[in-house]
Each structure stands twice: as C-alpha cells, then as structure tokens.
Amino acid sequence: MPIQEEALARNVFGNYEILNVVGRGGMGIVYRAVDLALDRVVALKVLRGDLHTRPMLVARFQREAQAIAQLTHPNIVETYSTGVVDRIPYIAMELINGLPLSQVLKEERRLSWDRALALAEQVARALACAHEAQIIHRDIKPPNILIAENDHVYVTDFGLAKLLTLETQLTAEGARLGTPQYMSPEQCCGHDATPSSDLYSLGVVLFIMMTGRLPYRTTDKGELISAVICGHPLRLRECVRDIPEEVERLVAYLLEKDPKDRPVNAQSLCDAIARVREGKPLDPSAAEVTTVLSGLRQELQHPLECGAGATGLRRGFDAFLGSGSWARTRWGALSPGLRRVCAAIAVTAFGALAGWKAGTFLYPDPHVQWPVSGDRIVSRWRLPVTVAYFVRANPTVLFANLSLSEFVVTDIQWTNEYVTAFLNGAAGTPREGERAVCQISPGLRHAVLALPPVTPGPGVGRPTPVALAGSARFAQKGSALAGRFLLVCETPGSPDRVLAYTAGKTVLAPVFEWASDSDSEVSTVRAVDVSPDGNTVVAAVKTNQAWSLVRQRVGSTLSSESGGILATTGAPIPVAYYSPDGTCVAYVREIGPARRQLWLVRADGSERDGRMLAEGDISIGPQAFSPDGQQIAVGEAFAAGSVELRIIRVANGRVEVSLDAIQGAAWHPSGRFLVAAAPDTNGKMQFWALSVPGVENQEAAPPRQLTAHESGMLPLCAISPDGEWVAALPDQAGEPTIAFVNLAVGKNSV
C-alpha cells in the first residue's frame, strides 16, 4: 500500500493529522490536515506514492517547495513548511477556502469582462512578485488559480516553476512540460520559457474567462500546437460582441507570437489592465502597443501562413534594417517620396518572390517524371513539400507533427539520416484508400512529402507505398540504393516491380522484377529487403498459389528458371530480413490464424528453405538481429493477451533470454542493449533501453525509460544507423506524430 494511503488509513503523516483529500494533481495529493505542533489547519501536499522512487520527480517536487517558499504575496498561497517523512517530500501550505477558476467557469461558463480583468490583474501581481524573485510559473491555467471570498485570487501549484538561478534543468524525464492549451508559441517550439511566457498563458486564461472557449478554432492537441505557433487567435468580439475594443486589444497584446511584442513585464501588464478597467486606452507611447494596435485589424482580416501579418512584415523589415544600423540611418534620411518609391519596389519584388514560391507548390516540376495512369498525372504536387512542424518536449525528446491529419502512419524505417514514414488515408476521410510517404530528419528538423498521396491500382505503373526496406540497409554511401526508399509498382495483368525512390523523383528503374514461367501468371511482390552492401535484394513473391523467397542483384530481372530461389512454400511470407553480415535471411511463414513460423536460410543459395527457429503468434522487426548477427529478438503474443520477448541464439535456436510484457524490440547498433516497449507505472506503453544479461558479456542493468507520453506509445520503433535517434509513434488520435528520442543527450545517454 502506498505510504499516502497508509497515512490516510491511520490519519497521521509525520506531525500532521490527515482529515480528508481536497485535490489530486499529476504529481501530488493535497490533504486537509492539522499541524499538531502549531494546532492549525493546513493544506498538505504530498508526492504520490508511486513516484517517490523516481529521483527526477522528487527533485521537481522539491523544486516547487523551494520556489514557493521564497514568495510572500497576498495573491500567492503561503508556504508554512517543507520536509520529508519516510522519504516522501511534502509541502504544508495555507489552506484556501475557495474554488479553482476552472470550477467557477464550469458553473458560470463565462465571466463579465470587468470581473475577468479584476481577477487577471491579481494574477499579474502574483506573477510580478514571482518574476522579481527570478521564478517563472510555466503553468498558468484555471485549475492553478483559486478564487476565494470576495473574488480574492491565489496563484498556486508551482510544480513546473523554473528558477532562473538554478543551473540544473529537471526536464529530461517526462513529456512536454506545461499544458498545451495555455503554452506560449516559444514553449510549443521547444524554447525556454521566459516571464513573457507566463503573460501569454494569462492572456489565454483571460480569453477563456470572457468567452468560455479557447482563442483557437481547434481542440485537437497537435492542431492546437500548430495554431499556437503559426495561426491567428480569434478576436474576442468574434465570440462576445459587447466587449469593449480596448479589452479586445489588451488580450491581443498578450497573445502576440513574439515575446518582444507583449508587455515588457508583469508590472507593466498590471498597469495596462488598470488603465483599461478605468476606461482609458492602452499607453500609445509604448512601441509594442502601437504595433499591435495598428496591425490588429489587418492581421486578423488578412492572415498569412505561419503568422506573418502586418506586424510580422513590419518586424521583418525592421530586422532587415537593424536597430540603429547604417541602413536605418540612410532610410530615415530619404525624402518621403523616394521612400515610397523604394517601398513599392520592395513590395513588388517580395510579391514576385512569393508568387514564384507559391507556384512551386501548386505546379509540377517539369524535371520530375511522375508515374502516370493513362494520360493523367498521378499527382500535381511539386516535391519536396515541407509537411511538419517540430516541438521539443524536453532536451531529449522531439516531436515531429505531420500536417496530414487525414492520414495515419503505418510504419517507420530509417534511410540514412531520414526516417521514412509510410502513411495510409484514415478511414472515413476523403483520403481513405490513399497512401503517401514522408521523410523526416530530426537532426535537421526538416520533413518533406517524398511521395504525394496516390491511390494504389488499378492503373498503369501506380506506385504502392508499402514498408519494404530494412532500417540500416542503405547506410553504405557507395551503394546504388544509398538514401533511397522502395515502393511496389503494381501493374494489373503484369508482375509487380519494386522501384527505388528519393524525395521527388524515381532514381532507379526497377530494382526488382520477377518474370513468371507463364505469361498468364501474375506475380505479387512483398517483403523486400536490401543486403547490407546494397547490391542485392531478397523478396517474397507470390505466383498463383505458391510463395517463393528469391534473391537477385539490384536492377536485374529474375525468372524462376534462372536460380536464386531460397525457399518455396504455400504459406504467405509477410516479412524477410537480411542478417547484418548479409550471409543469412530470416523470414516468417504464416501457417494459420495467429500462427507463424520463423525460418532462417543462407543467402548464398547453398540450402533450400533453411531451418525453423520458432513457432507461435510471433513477430520480428527490421532490427531484430543483434549487430553481430548471433541473436535475434522475437516477440510472441498469447491468447490470454500477454506478450513475451525472446532472444534466440541463431546458431542452435536456443532461447537465451525470455522477458514478459515486452514488445516491439529493436537492437541498438552498439549491441549493448535493446530498445523496446513496456508498460510504465500507469500502465501506459513507453519505450525503454533494456540491457540483456548474457549479451556482450554484460550484467543486467536497470531499464532506462526513454519516453513518457501521456497517452502511451505504439509498440513500433526504429533506431538510426548511427544509434543516436530512436523514432517511435505515440498512441494518440488526430495529427500523425513521430517522437524522436536522442540517445546521445543528457540522462538518456546509454
């Protein structure tokens, strides 16, 4: 039983008598308790029992105690004491008889603009005190704002507070810090929070208090982050018509994308709120206020992609000239007429450039030869097209959010420094049945649509994007396939072909083509993998009812009479992978429902079919072989719903290691550990670095958690050829997202 539950059962925790639970948060439980030494009722916040063994979270909890203990202000909950009982840290605070703002809004839906401003001004005063003490709250939102008698406001829960005086950063463990609905653009982009970030969050809270809704049109988390970074917030008076214009401008002032365009500090915001409450305009002498006031209407009526707008153009022009620069001096010296002429020339040039740039996205590149169906071009997208934005959750985790909400990612594989993501159109959307391919580089923070959405067959030469190539098969730069990914080209009435693609063009005509014995037979190609040297491919080919595992050199045409057949079976072959040295091929036979066999055959054709290593509801991935080729990781599912990971010795088929509840394993190129999915303390699947006893003569080390996504992860990952990045898929709805974990940074270095 967790310590907190034991304490509650016996109504005692150190020197505190527990009365009842008053609230629960992500990290702690808050009790109403009596301080037996001072005979007073307090709010006792105690770290959750399932978290006290995690040093990073304990440190974060203690950091909250350190943060709020420094602050004394009428609008900040007072801290009485902090300490540790039975290794569990706690904070004893003033007990506030009030309701969270979130509960008030739930009951009243929205507040009058004058009451909302009165509450926000008190929050701003609390933030001014915190910022003066070099503390950033980083999580201003309605649940962390308490409303007591006479609308007295208290700011609480500094659990994510950042002390600017601290040298250590405690953000490596866990997902994105903060609440996406209230995070500033700079936080969403992965940059450090600043005092201005708290002011942006307060602007969102103000908008919600007055309208009962968020200032963006979407509630999907991925789309919301994109809107915060690139979109334009709603105008207050689009939602509530009777709000004064100055109030609308004040909120727009807080929701500016660039922190430099917001109030200079919390005290400045207090002054601005006070002016508006008194019916006065915002201070027109402040340069940033002048910008937001003059640009508000144009920016909202004529939105540009990624939030340029009138103020964005002005900032870009100012940045070009430079503050106090020679160019700015010369510009100011020009006559008004000459300045108008120069500005007209600049606008014309900018418009021509923008028109050309837009045209490159709307019209096909004449140098790119697209596959055609009859006389119709499959797609008129010009490639590559950037299709993702990146959000850094913490120093080791980067999210690539693909702006393709009607698609789902079905597989991910590495091609040199890029992850190749294969996507299918989601059911019930206009894209259902279509397929596409993206390539994403976490190091470059760059993502392109490498193959536009296409509908597989019927049609002549229509490419079908399916995951084919192994994870590190194109790593050798001398290979003809270096940096490419493979697609099946289905042609009705003819054998399938395999083509090698790069972003925007076909680079090799067919990599693989199977010539059947009879002109009437149609061949289906599946399960293609490329040898480590990039010179040969192995593929599973179905001709009528028989399946063959064949091997051939890249670019040649192989028939069933010309040799190269490694195995023949009546069972489908869904996957086949080369061993790291290219001497063997592991392949799977589907012999029945939830029944598969794992076989190993020599790649030189010196044996037929090979030998069976395992049987059951098994699965293997592209990185199932250990780097030395001596072990292979095999997953098996059981009827009861349990799963098991087995490490099998290739030489004799002996099971050397068996691990319960482990899925989606991939060997790290170093051979020192596996990356695999397993449940965390909340039962959510997360990825872990697992050392394996007996492998590389190492002893078992504690597993290291690599992800902490709130909705969990799908049991599918891919490791970059250099071993620096792990790519994985969050288990979430909405915008397709790929999580990248940098193994070479900080605590996740392994």
3-state secondary structure of 478: coil
Comparing C-alpha atoms, which of 286, 236, 276 is closest to residue 121?
Answer: 276
**What distance in Å separates the CA atoms of residue 736 and residue 738, rounded to the nearest whole number?**
7
For the chain, the structural domain boundaries read 3-94, 100-321, 326-362, 372-748
pLDDT of residue 304: 27
372-748 to CATH, choices 3.40.140.10, 2.130.10.10, 1.10.1740.10, 3.30.465.10: 2.130.10.10
- Known catalytic residues are 139
Which CA distances in Å does 608 have to 40, 528, 566, 603? 82, 19, 5, 10
Lowest mean pLDDT among 102-111, 509-518, 586-595: 509-518
Residue 102 has pLDDT above 80, yes or no: yes
pTM of the model: 0.54
Residue 60 has pLDDT above 70, yes or no: no
100-321 to CATH, choices 3.40.50.300, 1.20.1260.10, 1.10.1040.10, 1.10.510.10: 1.10.510.10
DSSP letters spanning 645-699: EEEEETTT--EEEEEET-EEEEE-TTSS-EEEEEE-TTS-EEEEEE--TTGGG--
User: Tokens standing for 744?
Assistant: 């070479």
Lowest mean pLDDT among 474-478, 500-504, 622-626, 637-641: 474-478
Site of tokens 């919301």: 224
Q: pLDDT tens-digit profile of 265-274?
A: 999 999 999 9
**What b/e sequence results for 442-480 when a residue is b if at least 16 CB atoms lie within 10 Å of its CB, and e otherwise?**
beeebbbbbbbbbbbbebebbbebbbbbbbbbbbbeebe
For residues 112-132, average pLDDT = 94
Q: pLDDT tens-digit profile of 700-712?
A: 567 889 998 888 9
Residue 234 has pLDDT above 50, yes or no: yes
Residue 307 has pLDDT above 90, yes or no: no
3-state secondary structure of 746: helix
Which CA distances in Å does 607 have to 534, 565, 566, 629, 630? 22, 10, 7, 19, 19
Contacts of 197 (CB under 8 A, 6+ apart): 136, 138, 183, 184, 186, 187, 259
pLDDT of residue 119: 96
**What distance in Å separates the CA atoms of residue 462 and residue 456, rounded to the nearest whole number?**
6
The burial class, CB within 10 Å (0-12 / 13-18 / 19+), for 250 is buried
Element (H, E) at 185: helix 185-188
pLDDT band of residue 50 (cuts 50, 70, 90) is: low
SS (H, E, C) 278-321: CCCCCCCCCHHHHHHHHHHHHHHHCCCCCCCHHHHHHHHHHHHH
pLDDT band of residue 716 (cuts 50, 70, 90) is: very high
Contacts of 709 (CB under 8 A, 6+ apart): 175, 684, 686, 730, 731, 732, 739
Contacts of 93 (CB under 8 A, 6+ apart): 42, 43, 44, 45, 68, 77, 78, 79, 80, 156
How many other C-beta atoms can be found within 10 angstroms of the C-beta atom of residue 58? 19
Strand ranges of the sheet holding 418-425, from the earlier edge strand across to the other edge = 407-415, 418-425, 435-441, 446-454
DSSP letters spanning 115-164: HHHHHHHHHHHHHHHHHHTTEE----SGGGEEE-GGG-EEE---TT-EET
Q: pLDDT tens-digit profile of 644-674?
A: 899 999 998 898 888 888 998 999 998 889 9
pLDDT band of residue 590 (cuts 50, 70, 90) is: very high
Contacts of 563 (CB under 8 A, 6+ apart): 605
3-94 to CATH, choices 3.30.200.20, 3.40.50.280, 3.40.50.300, 3.40.50.970: 3.30.200.20
Amino acid symbol at 227: A
Q: pLDDT tens-digit profile of 354-401?
A: 443 333 322 233 333 333 332 233 334 545 566 888 888 878 899 998
The burial class, CB within 10 Å (0-12 / 13-18 / 19+), for 39 is exposed
Comparing C-alpha atoms, which of 143, 131, 163 is closest to residue 62?
Answer: 163
Q: pLDDT tens-digit profile of 394-424?
A: 788 999 988 888 899 999 988 777 888 999 9
Furthest-apart CA atoms within the chain: distance in Å = 94
User: Tokens standing for 530?
Assistant: 């490329």
pLDDT of residue 715: 92
Mean pLDDT of the chain: 76
Direct distance between the N- and C-terminal alpha carbons of the chain, in angstroms, rounded to an integer: 33
